[in-house]
């Protein structure tokens, strides 16, 4: 028992010595600063040039007869406002007016494609591609509108650096150009 009573002060002193020595030990190295995740640089794109390329894709392809149903004159009014707003650089106004036309004719592929082009001008590339592909699924699979649909996909995939899909879209674009039948 005498030994046990002598051990208590010795253990207390030993514990204090260990704690004191632990305070003298070098502290662990601070963690390196966390670097923010590498961000994909936003490409600088001339959206107006992309829209010009999309619209130019249809040149010379609309010479065939196209059948279109009669439209509500209100649709044409909305589209005129949309085109006027676009010409003034008011892409939000153009989109709002075109959306008004789309409410009256929800399955109109030409309006969907126009909205896709406005989305390109606004820098909403994924929305542009989605609208163009909806337009393609509802519209003719040859001719000018088809070419604009697939040129939109080419422009979007180029901006997104998706070279495999650019190649696919260009192939579809070629398929929009159907040579006229030979008539004798």
The pLDDT value recorded for residue 31 is: 45
State yes or no: pLDDT of 1 exceeds 70.
no
The pLDDT value recorded for residue 13 is: 58
* 64 or 104, greater pLDDT: 104
The pLDDT value recorded for residue 85 is: 97
Instruction: Break the chain into its structural domains and give their ranges.
Output: 47-61+71-175
Tens of pLDDT, residue by residue over 138-180, are 998 999 999 999 999 999 999 999 999 999 999 999 999 877 7
Tens of pLDDT, residue by residue over 16-64, are 555 455 555 455 445 445 444 444 454 567 899 999 999 999 887 654 5
Q: What's the CATH superfamily of 47-61+71-175?
A: Tetratricopeptide repeat domain (1.25.40.10)
* 36 or 123, greater pLDDT: 123
Cβ burial, residue 71 (10 Å; 0-12/13-18/19+): middle
């Amino acid at each position: 028992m005498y030994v046990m009573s002598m051990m208590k002060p010795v253990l207390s002193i030993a514990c204090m010595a260990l704690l004191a020595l632990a305070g003298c030990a070098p502290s662990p190295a601070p963690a390196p600063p966390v670097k923010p995740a590498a961000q994909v640089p936003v490409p600088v794109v001339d959206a107006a040039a992309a829209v010009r390329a999309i619209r130019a894709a249809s040149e010379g392809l609309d010479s065939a007869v196209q059948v279109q149903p009669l439209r509500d004159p209100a649709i044409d009014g909305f589209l005129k406002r949309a085109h006027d707003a676009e010409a003034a650089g008011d892409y939000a106004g153009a989109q709002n007016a075109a959306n008004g036309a789309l409410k009256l004719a929800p399955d109109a592929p030409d309006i969907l494609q126009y909205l896709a082009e406005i989305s390109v001008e606004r820098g909403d590339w994924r929305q542009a591609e989605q609208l163009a592909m909806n337009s393609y699924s509802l519209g003719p699979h040859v001719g000018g509108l088809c070419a604009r649909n697939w040129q939109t996909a080419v422009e979007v995939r180029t901006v997104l650096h998706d070279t495999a899909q650019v190649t696919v879209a260009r192939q579809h674009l070629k398929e929009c150009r159907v040579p006229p039948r030979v008539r004798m």
